[in-house]
Amino acid sequence: MTFPHLFRPLQIGSRTVKNRVMLPPHAHVVSTLWGTDLEAERHIGYWAERTSAGWVDGVSAHVRNSLVPGFEPTGVGAQSDGHFRQPYFLDRVGRLAEVLHRDDTILTVQMILQGGMPHGASSVLSGPVVNQVPHTLTREEIDWFVAEYAHGAEQIALAGADGVELHLNHDDMLEYFLSPLTNRREDEYGGNLDGRLRFPLRILAELRRAMGPDRIVGVRLNLREEEPGGYDVEGAGGAVEIARALEASGYVDYLSCAIGSPWGDPSYIQSQHHRPAEWSDLAAPVTAAVSIPVGYTGRVTGPAVAEELLAAGHVDFVGMARAVIADGKLLVKAQEGRPEEIRPCVGGNECISRRIVDGTPFSCAVNPEAGREADHAQQPAKHPGTVLVVGGGPAGMEVAGIAAERGHRVTLWEQSETLGGQLRSAAQAPRHEDYLSFLEWQEHRLRRAGVTVEKSRTATVDAVLAFGADRVVVATGATPRRPEITGVELPHVHTSVAVLTGEVAADELGEHVLVVAQDDHLPPLSVADFLAERGHRVTLVQGTPGPAPLVSRYLLGSILARLDRGGVALHGSLQPTLIESGQVTLRHVYSGAERTLSPVDSVVLSCGAVPHSALHDQLREQGVRADLLGDAYAPRRMVFATKQARELALTL
């Protein structure tokens, strides 16, 4: 497969970009450029691995905020110091620019004030789930911000970056000015589009001045606001009209278009529930309306999708964030004719969510090396030996892959006929096909790395001892958990795994299905989605007040929208205490009051899993050293398993 459009150069203002791929902002979450020296090194190292893209729109830098003393801003990027006035700004951005320029890749820096913190055009909410009323900016404060943006842009030019991008979307303070939904001002900064654009254009004038003719100025633009009252693509004040006005100003060299809010369906980081590049056609009228280059970002999942958009003429360039988190060598592999070797992103958004909901540092579910490139930790093993991995789920496959790539002779035993463990059943849920692509990729990878995979192979202590490996890794996974509820053993109670794999046929479930959720992430919602799609009338109960507390706002909206369309009823703060034929007794976890739900034809348990660590225990009893990891250690999500697998594999 060739990609003739993808690898064509592109002229953006004064800069020639070597291909049509722009990497939009995301790496400050992978490892911040503004943290410790090590974090900054990792940030730069992350990009250094990805210079096959012509353009890194990489540095997302917050503008200093203006606050009354003692006010504590909250939300994304909440801080009052900003990044442009940090003593290390010039040095770190300068070093990044240098690294990228060596490979003929350009660098633009995004200026952002997402969430307002607390500023807005008016004291109006931008959506129904973010209930923080903004402070209405005064004219004096507007002047102060214009000067602050001007200072930031001067720093960008001084650092040697190639340009600046103004963040005019994703609930930025400036989108609040642009949008008729949130801008209700009656002064010169409100009213029609001219008024609503006045503040952004004053800033853009300063950015242009700071960049001069030699560097570039761009705008990140939302193509369509989802909330009623927001702007659309076409029509008065819509994206097409905004794009024309931006071009006419003479300040702007490119438009980087996206879709989605920070919380809705879709979010601007669209989950696996959405088709690749689902809204890219919305960019086409903008591309047609202006002569400056226009790009689209949003689940451009690989080179084939990118090539298609470019060939269709929808846009002049494409943005890819998560696809290159998952595989930093994506473009190299595409260019060298090895696209099947590209590690696919599964779209579960752990990259953005983990930090927010779990409080854990960045990790990618499929690529635990992402963000650690600068450590150069994955070196050939000093003493290659034999490694036996027992269990072929995500943890076992990853540890086997890395160990073999480091030079060990690796054998993987899997009890069932297929690799993948619980991920394979999870892949049966609607819109989860990317999991299957990932499993397919892992199997190919293990083959390429020379791992001997033996399926339908049950490990016993004797078999492990007879094998005589230098190191044994036990990644035997977990089994679905059945909570202690009276009646849980009745024949109409099933696990979600049995339902998803088809072990329990749809007609066995009957019409009314109750999903019992005791798992704080996506699985209960996914099995409810699966059931609704097959025509069942689904009720889901969970003990937590709201659904899936560990699913972040960047994904939750998409699955909740699907469940609502499928007629699924969600109830919080309820736990089943008694399952009977035809009905279930539910107890309110706070008040203790009980109620009966009926009719219930079947009950589906989505209650997590319990570790399957018996082999490890037996090996230890025999004095055999074995490492335990993944769900067999403690059942969590794939991202936890692959991260542990990497850490262990580097010690082998």
Ligand X SMILES: Cc1cc2nc3c(=O)[nH]c(=O)nc-3n(C[C@H](O)[C@H](O)[C@H](O)COP(=O)(O)O)c2cc1C
> What is the three-class DSSP state of 621?
helix
Tell the smallest beta-carbon distance from residue 295 to ligand X (Å): 10
The reply on whether position 62 binds ligand X by CB under 6 A is no
Tell the smallest beta-carbon distance from residue 545 to ligand X (Å): 27
Tell the smallest beta-carbon distance from residue 163 to ligand X (Å): 15
Tell the smallest beta-carbon distance from residue 358 to ligand SF4 (Å): 13
434 vs 511: CA distance, rounded Å: 29
Angle at 306 between CA 300 and CA 310, to 5 degrees: 130
- In this structure, what token pair is assigned to residue 516? 């019992």
The reply on whether position 58 binds ligand X by CB under 6 A is no
Which residue number, 301 or 585, has a Cβ lying nearer to ligand X? 301
Closest CA to 117 of 258, 271, 262: 262
Among 239, 257, 325, 403, binds ligand SF4 (CB under 6 A): 325
Among 48, 331, 351, 513, binds ligand X (CB under 6 A): 351
**Torsion angle, alpha carbons of 137, 142, 148, 152, to 10:** 90
415 vs 37: CA distance, rounded Å: 45
* CA distances (Å), origin 87, targets 34, 45, 90, 92, 158: 10, 21, 7, 10, 13
Q: Are 493 and 516 within 8 A, CB to CB?
A: no
- In this structure, what token pair is assigned to residue 245? 């006005």
Q: Is 573 left (phi over 0), alpha (psi -120 to 50) or beta?
A: left
364 vs 350: CA distance, rounded Å: 6
Among 135, 167, 408, 424, binds ligand X (CB under 6 A): 167
- With CB under 6 A as the contact rule, which of the stretches 108-116, 195-203, 358-366, 570-578 interacts with ligand SF4? 358-366
* CA distances (Å), origin 201, targets 55, 64, 398, 563: 25, 19, 49, 41
Which residue number, 64 or 299, has a Cβ lying nearer to ligand X? 299
Which residue number, 182 or 363, has a Cβ lying nearer to ligand SF4? 363
Contact partner, 354, from ligand X, ligand SF4, none, Cβ < 5-8 Å per class: none
The reply on whether position 25 binds ligand X by CB under 6 A is yes
195 vs 188: CA distance, rounded Å: 5
Binding mask 240-279 for ligand X (x = CB under 6 A): ------------------x---------xx----------
570 vs 564: CA distance, rounded Å: 9
The reply on whether position 26 binds ligand X by CB under 6 A is yes
452 vs 365: CA distance, rounded Å: 24
Backbone angles phi, psi at 352, to 5 degrees: -100, -30
- With CB under 6 A as the contact rule, which of the stretches 20-28, 97-105, 196-204, 584-592 interacts with ligand X? 20-28
The reply on whether position 210 binds ligand SF4 by CB under 6 A is no
Which residue number, 25 or 611, has a Cβ lying nearer to ligand X? 25
Among 322, 406, 408, 432, binds ligand SF4 (CB under 6 A): 322
The reply on whether position 521 binds ligand X by CB under 6 A is no
Q: Give the contacts of 576 (CB within 8 A, at least 6 positions apart).
A: 485, 514, 516, 541, 584, 585, 586, 587, 603
Angle at 245 between CA 144 and CA 196, to 5 degrees: 45
Tell the smallest beta-carbon distance from residue 352 to ligand SF4 (Å): 7
Contact partner, 277, from ligand SF4, ligand X, none, Cβ < 5-8 Å per class: none
Among 115, 127, 293, 348, binds ligand SF4 (CB under 6 A): 348
**Widest CA span of the chain, in angstroms?**
82
Tell the smallest beta-carbon distance from residue 57 to ligand X (Å): 8
* CA distances (Å), origin 458, targets 470, 476, 613: 19, 10, 14
Tell the smallest beta-carbon distance from residue 191 to ligand SF4 (Å): 40
Contact partner, 366, from ligand SF4, ligand X, none, Cβ < 5-8 Å per class: ligand SF4
Contact partner, 326, from ligand X, ligand SF4, none, Cβ < 5-8 Å per class: ligand SF4
Contact partner, 365, from ligand X, ligand SF4, none, Cβ < 5-8 Å per class: ligand SF4
- With CB under 6 A as the contact rule, which of the stretches 116-124, 209-217, 292-300, 522-530 interacts with ligand X? 292-300
118 vs 513: CA distance, rounded Å: 44
The reply on whether position 364 binds ligand SF4 by CB under 6 A is yes
* CA distances (Å), origin 464, targets 412, 413, 602: 11, 10, 41
Restricting to residues 84-123, which ones interact with ligand X according to CB under 6 A?
A: 110, 112
Q: Are 333 and 314 within 8 A, CB to CB?
A: no
Tell the smallest beta-carbon distance from residue 324 to ligand X (Å): 8
**Torsion angle, alpha carbons of 646, 647, 650, 652, to 10:** -100
Contact partner, 555, from ligand SF4, ligand X, none, Cβ < 5-8 Å per class: none
Tell the smallest beta-carbon distance from residue 105 to ligand X (Å): 17
DSSP H helices, 344-482, are 350-357, 394-405, 422-426, 433-449, 461-467
Which residue number, 333 or 424, has a Cβ lying nearer to ligand X? 333
111 vs 242: CA distance, rounded Å: 19
Which residue number, 64 or 372, has a Cβ lying nearer to ligand SF4? 372
Which residue number, 145 or 554, has a Cβ lying nearer to ligand SF4? 554
Which residue number, 306 or 478, has a Cβ lying nearer to ligand X? 306
Restricting to residues 365-394, which ones interact with ligand SF4 according to CB under 6 A?
A: 365-366
Among 135, 322, 406, 646, binds ligand X (CB under 6 A): 322
Among 221, 290, 352, 451, binds ligand X (CB under 6 A): 352
Residue with tokens 């899993």: 609
Query: Quick one: how far is CA 457 from the chain centroid?
Result: 35
Restricting to residues 597-616, which ones interact with ligand SF4 according to CB under 6 A?
A: none
Q: Residues interacting with ligand X, by CB under 6 A? A: 24-26, 29, 60, 110, 112, 167, 170, 220, 258, 268-269, 297-300, 319-323, 351-352
Q: Residues interacting with ligand SF4, by CB under 6 A? A: 322, 325-326, 345-351, 364-366
